[in-house]
Each structure stands twice: as structure tokens, then as C-alpha cells.
Amino acid sequence: MPKTTLGELEELVLLAILRVGDDAYGVPIIDELGERADRRVAPAAVYVTLRRLEDAGLIRSQLEEPARGKPRRFVELTEGGIELLKVSRRTRMRMWDGLEPMLGES
Amino acid sequence: MSRPRPPRLFESLLRACLPPAWREDMARDLEELFGRKAARGQVRAVLWYVGQVLSFGWRFAWYRIRSRTATDGLHPGRARIGLGEALREARLAARSLLRAPAFTLPAVAVLGLGLGASATLFTVVDGVLLEPLPLPDSHELVALCEEHVRLEGICIGSIATTRDLVRESRSLTAGGVGRGWRFSLEDWIGREGLRSGIADPGLFNAVGLSPLLGRLFADDEIGPDGDDVVLLSHDLWVRRYGSDPSVVGRTVRLDGDPVVIVGVLPADFVVPTLEWIEAWRPLHVDPSSTEAREWRGFLALARLTPEVELPAARAELGTLYRGLAVRFDAIDDGWRLGMRPLLDQVVGEARPAIMSLFSAVLLLLLIGCFNVANLVLARAARRRKELSIRSALGAGRGGILAVLALESVLLAVAAATLATALTFGGVRLFRTLAPTGLPRLDGVGVNGSVLVFIGVVALATVLVFGLWPALGSRHRHSGEAMTRLRSVGESRRGVAVRRGLVVAELALSTVLLFGGALLVRTLNGYASWDPGFDRDGLYVVSALASLGEHPDREELMRFWAEVEEELRALPGIVAVSTASSVPLRGGREGTSYRPEGGEDLDEAALPSARWYDVGPGHFATLGVPVLDGREVSELDGPSSPSVVVVNETFARRTWPGGRAVGRWLEIPLDAGGVRRMEVVGVVGDVRPVTPGQPSEPEIYWSNRQLGRWGTLFLVRAAAGTADVGARVRETIEGIDPTISLGTMLSMDQLLEEPLAGPRFNAVLAGVFAALAALLAVIGLYAVLSYSIAKEGRTIGLRMAMGASPPRVLRTVLGEATSLTLVGVVIGAVGALASTRLLRSLVHGVSATDPVTLGGTILLILLVSLAAAAIPARRATRVDPSRLLREE
């Protein structure tokens, strides 16, 4: 059965991968979550999430030798992953629609 | 510079926890994060890394269990059987542990005890030695110590010198002096002997706290004309005045002088080491006088200028002090200025005892861990059949590791629970037993970091040693790793490892037992302590005469004599005397002296001794024998020649081989000049509390010739005399109601304090020794019986070849004995080398005592022979064919 919804950490990790771009491997993803999302996530939790996302076909990973330094396992979103992010965003937008004034953030 | 690397051991553990596909990548990423942490502190980084290993371990174990039952791509089996599966695995692991109580119980007990003991001591170290003092910016506070070459380790200060140093130094922002000084308080409520003190205004500036009410002392409130004010502690204000703010501004009398209450100190105001002071009065001495420089009976406390380092401040003040020595005769060549953090000064003597005990306990923990490792290893070998079956049924290496890990976690949880309970109990016991003199006892309590310490060490020990046998194998694929353990018992390497373990365990046990035995012998010394005088029916009460009522010293001395007479007349009172101190309590006042025959001695080379003044019949009242000559008597009055009594040690040291009675000695007087006194008697020594410690030389002069305003009354009552305290109080107050009396205490109560410290050390030592013996025996037994059990196949073979059981037994025991001897010899060398750790706890017995060492070795031999004989006998009784089949 294909995956249809995302947990919060899964969504944040997918977004972090997109933001980091070509250099996305474990450490920059953890940094991005810390800096932008203000979330101090245990490294192990991030890797378990990455594994789970890969098992579900939402990301793919590849061992690459960067210009400098040691080989890293870089990750990127699959089309399925991008699609699920869009679904998630649309769902949220629909839920948010018209609610801003109630929170005083119009 | 090479990049910092995480500890290898934990790196291997981490790799073992990770799924193969991503193993190297995750390990590299974590190494990168470790590098960043290490830049901010290596120790923290290692702790962080250990935490990450645990975190990866359980998260991936959990992930694996859940993904095995995956139902959809992303959330495997969450709602269905995830939890149930985990519980089932845990139950299986628990059952497997419970099925092997011979393994589980010693493992949990050994680890729990070791951890509990070290966590208890860690709590004490944290509370007493590490926690900063409860004062603002307390790291800036220092004690200024005038140290004399002849008064080793004593830190004292004078008001004049402290003021000069603070004024001239750039390293100090404030500083002052204080000390205890008893006053008799008289107010609208009544009269009370106060636990009070005197200080100069600088002391309060240095402590740096604002008053709760009113103000602190003004800068000119010092000296004979400036001491008509008083500051109340928060405690006294609450206790005596019911927290009434209107007391500020009212006048009370201290020793008859009218003084104004100018302020109340906040509850958190403490002058370290003088916490007990309830009221402060300004110092009554002119700070610019010579007396103010010579009177060094103070705690001098100062605050460093922020950012100034201690060594720089020390150098500057040392120079200033040498400058003062040139200007003032009161600072002779023997004086030096020392400076130490106030915390060190406060903790003082407690540090070495606590630290040696802590090291000993860490050794205990280490051996506990070692024992657990041995037990786990033995068990792993015994289970190889079970694990091979699991492996044959398709369990991967990861799966087998997960089972082992889960068992280890359960073991750790059990041990940590035991350790936590022991720590709470241990800390409570520590606080109950600790001597009143132990500084900062109130700060000792179990906190979160101690509990984390217990959890992390328990888990790390069990995981490391629990998984190590499997991880250590070269065969990294499939269940082969565990099945290969099968060969450990047979291979040459396996035999060497096993024998190495036995020898190491024996050596460590020897070290531990020897330390324990020394401590037990010390404990015996305390238990058999006899002061050399009769404590039964002896009571002591302190009395302080008011200077206003008794301004004249000679009149005062007659007055004390009159009180003594009245007390002697009371029914049931057998003997009465006065003294400025009692044996083992105080008598801390020391003086240098020039003995007859020492006329040529240089001023700086004069010997010193403790002294206190005594009244007629003092030693008869105590029950201390007069060995030669006589005691001081009523006839030794102010106008007759000055006389002195000395103790045996004094007489022997000062005039070796000769008779002391009839000789003279001279002591310097505060006012200048000397006083020559004739020795009229020698009395027996009062034995120090600490076994093996030599008696101090002591001088006792007559309080009829050099009387003081405060004295102790010693009263010996016949057995069964009731209300001694009340009747003595009534009698004294009947003669002069202005006398401030302390609480009457029995001699036993008084000796409790000096005895409490050593007894406390001894009890701790006893507990340590018992734990050490227990751990050593459990460990030895576990290792040896495991080792012999491994010999099962050999035994079976021998018996199948026709060897008789007694002969097999002899061979096995012979081998065990030779291993034991090797271990014991190594251990004995280690034991003799490691006694330095325990030196401050071992008294009255040499730290290399051959009898104790011999006894220890004998005990180890007996235990190891027993540990070898039991499984060996069992093996010889089993049918050899069965043994061979099993293998």
C-alpha cells in the first residue's frame, strides 16, 4: 500500500533535504533542522527517519565522493517524495484557509 | 593536527547497532559531529558520543522490530503488533535471565553494589568538594593565610595586615577578618550566652551581600570606640525576636555594654567556616595598633578583582607582604603569606579522606565491571548451543545481538534500580553518620546528574561487556560469530584468555582485600580506644563572667575559686575543678617556649606546645594520673612563683632521660617579655582518638595565676546523682546571676565530636572492606568455576582414560593453585603499590603490614581452592560419556 500521509518529522526532514540541495547528507540535514526549524533532533532519530523514507521510496540515496573529504551518502527526493510533500502542503493550505484573522496574523 | 576520533570501543559498538547498508555512512557522519563537539571539550564529546551510541542502539533495534512486521511503506505495524512484539521479546529476555539465577543475581548484585557505592561517594564529592560556595561570584573569594614555618598548614590572619594588603593591592577589591567571640546578650527578653563573633567592616564587603534590614557596619565602626553596634543573623532574628523588623535601632547589652542593633543579615549570608555565628560585633581592637598585627587569630577573607588570576594575585600579595615584614617587627622571618581559594580552605582536611575513599570506591566499581564481564563471558560460552540453534534457524548476527542487547538492557535496568536505591540509602546513611565538623554537609543530596551517571555506567558496562564477546569475533557475518565462540574453550588463544582472566581477577581481588583488611584493622583500633581517664559521671559546663561585673582579674580568680567551693558542697558531687579546655577538645592554643637548657636557642628555633589553664585538683577530677610531683594547688596564687604542669610527652621530649619536675620553662607574653614558670608535676598523656597517632606535648598552667573570664567547670557526680545540670546552674546563678552558662554536657557527649570523624571514617572503611571482600569472593568464584567448567571435556577425557576421580581432582586443584599463586604474587605487588590511595584512612597499622598481607593471601588461596574444588568435584561425578557427548 503506497504511503499517503507524512509525520511531522518526516515532513521536516524532506523539506530540509530540499533546502540543503545537492549537498544533502546526514550532518547538513541535522544542521538545517536545528537552524531553520529550531528543532534539536537526536541524530539517531534523523537517520531512522531517512531509512524509513528510503524504504517507502520517498527519497533515494547514493554513496558519492565529494570534491573534498570522505565519501558520503547523499540523499535526494524521488518524485514520489515531492508529490507527497505537495499533497501535504495542499492539505495544510486548505485547513489554514480563512483562519489567519482568527489568530491575528492576517 | 589530526582530527579527533571517537573512542574505538564505542565506535565498534555503534557499528554493531547500525543496519549494514548505511553503517559506514552513519558512523562517518557521527564522527564529524563528534569532531565539532570535541573542539569544545574532549570529555563532553566522549560522553555525548556514548549517549549517541545508546540512542542509535535502541532506535534502530526498535526500527528493526517494527519493520519486520511492516504493513505499509512508512509506518510499519504501528497499530498492530509493534508494542506486543517488543514486549514479547522483553519477556523472553527476562525469562532467560530468571532461568539463570546463578548468573543474574551475582551480576545484578555486583554491578548494583559497585555503582551504588560509587554514586554515593560521587554525590558526596559533588556536594562537598565541587559545588561552589553559596555566595555571589564565590570563585573570586580567597582566604589570606599568614603561615608560619612552625605552624604547618595553619591558615590565620590579622586585621592590620589584612587591611594593609587590601588597601595596597590591585588584585583585591575587598577583604576583612572575622572570628568567633562569645558575648553574653541581655535584652528585654532575658539573658543568653550567644554564639557570636567579631569582625571588621571589610569582611561583609568581601562576602558581598546586602543586609535584609538596616545596614552593615560603617567603615569607622571598629576599635575600642566604634564597637557599640551589632548585626543579627537571620536565624537569631527569627528565633529570638520572632522576625520583628522593629528590633533594628533598639539597644541591647553585650557583656554589659549597650550596643545598637543596626541590621539583620539575609538568610543566605554565611561566612564559610563561621556559619554558626548568630551575631556580629565590630572588632574592639584599634586596627592600626601593634596588637592588631600580632593577633593572628582570625579568618581573613578577600575578594579578587574580576579577571585577576590566582597566581598573579598570589605573586603581588607575596611581594606586598614582604614589604610589610620590613616595616613591622610583628612579622618575623618565619612568616609567609599564602592564599587559597576559599572553597579549598573550607573543605580543607575533608578533601584527602573523601578523595581516597572515592578512589577506592572507583576501584570497587572497576572490579565490579570486571566481574560482570567475566560472568557475561561465562554465560555466553555456556549458551553457545542455544545461540547456534537460533543462528541455524535463520537469526542473523544482528538478531542475535539484539537478543543479547535486550538482555543486557534488562540487566542494566535491574542493576541501576538497585544502585539508585542504595545511593539514596547510602547518602542518607552518610549524612547521619558524618561528623558534625564535616563542611557543607547540607549541600549533599542525590541529584539528576548522579542518576544519569548510574544509568549510563550501568548500561555502558553491561552493553560493552555483554556484546563484546560477539563483537570481538573476527567473523563478522551471519550467526557464525556466535557459533564460533564454541572454539574459545579449546583453542590455545582461548585457554590463554581464560587463564589471563583468572590471574587478573586474583590479582585485583588481592589488592582489594588487602585494602579492606587494613581498614578493618584500623576500625579495630578505634573500637578499642581508651582515653586514659574515667569518663563516667563527668560533666562539663562553660561559664562566662561579665567584664562589667568582674573588671579585676585577681578578684575574678577568687570568684571562680568561690564558685568551685560552693559546687563541691553539693550532695552527690564527688569532685569539681575548672579549666580552659578539656582533653581532646580545644586546647588548640599553642605557644612557643624556651626550656631550661635551651638558653642558646634562637628565637625562631624554639619548640612549641599546646597549652590550657587548669585549676587545683583538675587531673584528680578527670582521673588522669599524676606521674611525678604534684598538680597545681590553691597555694599557687597570683603572688607566689609561677608554676606549670606538663604531660608525659612534653617531659620526655623536652628533657629526655632527665626529671622534668624542678626545671623551668619560659613563655612569651602578649604584652612583651617572658614569664618563667617552674614545672611542679608531670601527668599522664590523654591518648589521641586516632590509633597510632602520637600524643602532643601539652603545658597546663594555673588559672589562679593567669585567670580568664571564661572557664569550664568540670563536675564529677557519684553514680545515680540526679539533676546534676540543674543544681549546678542554680548554684552558680545563685552566686552571680550575671554569669552566662552554656548547656551542661557529659564528657561522653563532649567527646562525641572529636570521635565522630574518625569513627565515621572507620564505618565507611568497614563498609568498603565488606563490599570489597564480597566482590572479590563473588568474582573469584565466578571466574574459577567458569574456568573449571570449561575443563569439563578434559576431565571427561581423563576419566574415560581411567583416571580416578581423586587424581583428576588433584590435577585440577594443582592447576588452580599455580594460577592462584601467579595472580596472588602480582596482586601483592599491586597491593603494596596502591596503599597510597588509602593512606589517609589507615591508622595504627602500617600500610604495608606483612601480617595483613599474609592473611589476605591465605584467604584468597582458600577461596580459590574452594571455588575450584566445587565444580571440579561436580565434574568428576558426572558420567564421562555424557560430558564428551555434550562437547
What are the tens digits of pLDDT across the range B844-868?
Answer: 777 788 888 898 888 888 888 887 7
Give the residue with greater pLDDT, B379 vs B829: B829
CA distance B83 to chain A (A): 18
Q: What mean pLDDT comes out for the span B14-23?
A: 77
**So what's the pLDDT on residue A28?**
92
Would you call A80 an interface residue with chain B, using a CB distance cutoff of 8 Å? no
CA distance B778 to chain A (A): 38
Across the interface, of A1, A25, A44, the residue whose CB is closest to B59 is A44
- Chain A residues whose beta carbon lies within 8 Å of the beta carbon of residue B25: 25-26, 63, 71-73
**So what's the pLDDT on residue B219?**
86
Q: Are B381 and B485 in contact (CB under 8 A)?
A: yes
**So what's the pLDDT on residue A77?**
92
Q: ipTM for the complex? A: 0.88
Q: Which contacts of B53-56 are long-range, i.e. CB under 8 A and separated by 24 or more positions?
A: B53/B10, B53/B13, B53/B14, B53/B17, B54/B456, B54/B459, B54/B460, B54/B463, B55/A42, B55/A43, B55/A44, B55/A45, B56/A43, B56/A44, B56/A47, B56/B14, B56/B17, B56/B18, B56/B26, B56/B30
Q: Read off the pLDDT band of B473 (50, 70, 90).
A: very low
Q: Read off the pLDDT band of B477 (50, 70, 90).
A: very low
Would strands B172-180 and B745-746 be described as parallel, antiparallel, or unpaired? unpaired
Give the residue with greater pLDDT, B476 vs B651: B651
Across the interface, of A3, A43, A51, the residue whose CB is closest to B72 is A3
Contact A53 B32 (CB under 8 A): no
Name the one residue in this structure whose C-alpha cell is 503488533: B81
Optimal mutation site among A29, A30, A47, interface B, most CBs of chain B within 10 A: A47
Least confident of A60-64, A90-94, B480-484, B721-725: B480-484
Least confident of A41-50, B136-145, B526-535, B542-551: B526-535
| A/B interface, count of CB pairs below 8 Å | 67
What amino acid occupies position B790? K
DSSP letter at B719 equals T
All three cell numbers of B524 = 579495630
What are the tens digits of pLDDT across the range B174-225?
Answer: 999 998 887 888 898 888 878 889 999 999 989 888 899 999 998 888 888 8
Does residue B493 surpass a pLDDT of 80? Answer: no
Q: Are B458 and B111 in contact (CB under 8 A)?
A: yes
CA distance A53 to chain B (A): 7
Most confident range, picked from A26-35, B572-581, B779-788, B807-816:
A26-35
Contact B73 A57 (CB under 8 A): yes
Q: Read off the pLDDT band of B682 (50, 70, 90).
A: very high
Q: What mean pLDDT comes out for the span B482-487?
A: 42
Measured CA to CA, the distance from residue B231 to residue B198 in angstroms comes to: 10
**Mean pLDDT value across chain B:** 79
What are the tens digits of pLDDT across the range B292-302?
Answer: 888 877 889 99
Q: Read off the pLDDT band of A105 (50, 70, 90).
A: low
Contact A53 B71 (CB under 8 A): no
**So what's the pLDDT on residue B483?**
44
Measured CA to CA, the distance from residue B369 to residue B466 in angstroms comes to: 11
**So what's the pLDDT on residue B103?**
77
Across the interface, of A6, A25, A58, the residue whose CB is closest to B29 is A25
Measured CA to CA, the distance from residue B34 to residue B56 in angstroms comes to: 14
Does residue B587 surpass a pLDDT of 60? Answer: no
CB atoms near residue B8 (< 10 Å): 8
Optimal mutation site among B23, B24, B74, interface A, most CBs of chain A within 10 A: B74
Q: Are B740 and B192 in contact (CB under 8 A)?
A: yes
Does residue B693 surpass a pLDDT of 60? Answer: yes
Measured CA to CA, the distance from residue B568 to residue B571 in angstroms comes to: 8
What are the tens digits of pLDDT across the range B755-811?
Answer: 666 666 667 666 776 777 777 777 777 766 666 666 666 777 777 787 788 887 888
Q: Read off the pLDDT band of B622 (50, 70, 90).
A: confident
CA distance A42 to chain B (A): 8
Q: Read off the pLDDT band of B348 (50, 70, 90).
A: low
Across the interface, of A1, A3, A27, the residue whose CB is closest to B32 is A27
Measured CA to CA, the distance from residue B676 to residue B593 in angstroms comes to: 10
Does residue B490 surpass a pLDDT of 60? Answer: no
Across the interface, of B22, B32, B55, the residue whose CB is closest to A42 is B55
Maximum Cα–Cα distance across chain A: 51
Contact B28 A72 (CB under 8 A): yes
pTM of the model: 0.55
The secondary element (H helix, E strand) that includes residue A63 is strand A59-64
Least confident of B158-162, B442-446, B683-687: B442-446
Q: Which residues pair with B702 in a beta bridge?
A: B614
**So what's the pLDDT on residue B711?**
84
* Percent over 90 (pLDDT), chain B: 11
Measured CA to CA, the distance from residue B361 to residue B770 in angstroms comes to: 12
Does residue B651 surpass a pLDDT of 70? Answer: yes
CA distance B693 to chain A (A): 57
Measured CA to CA, the distance from residue B364 to residue B371 in angstroms comes to: 10
**So what's the pLDDT on residue B295?**
81
Across the interface, of B52, B59, B71, the residue whose CB is closest to A48 is B59
Give the residue with greater pLDDT, A59 vs B94: A59
**So what's the pLDDT on residue B790?**
64
Going by C-alpha positions, the residue among B459, B445, B453, B447 that lies closest to residue B405 is B459
Does residue B73 surpass a pLDDT of 60? Answer: no
Contact A47 B71 (CB under 8 A): no
What are the tens digits of pLDDT across the range B814-827?
Answer: 877 888 889 889 98
What separation in angstroms does the CA of B22 have from each of A28, B15, B627, B774? 17, 10, 87, 45
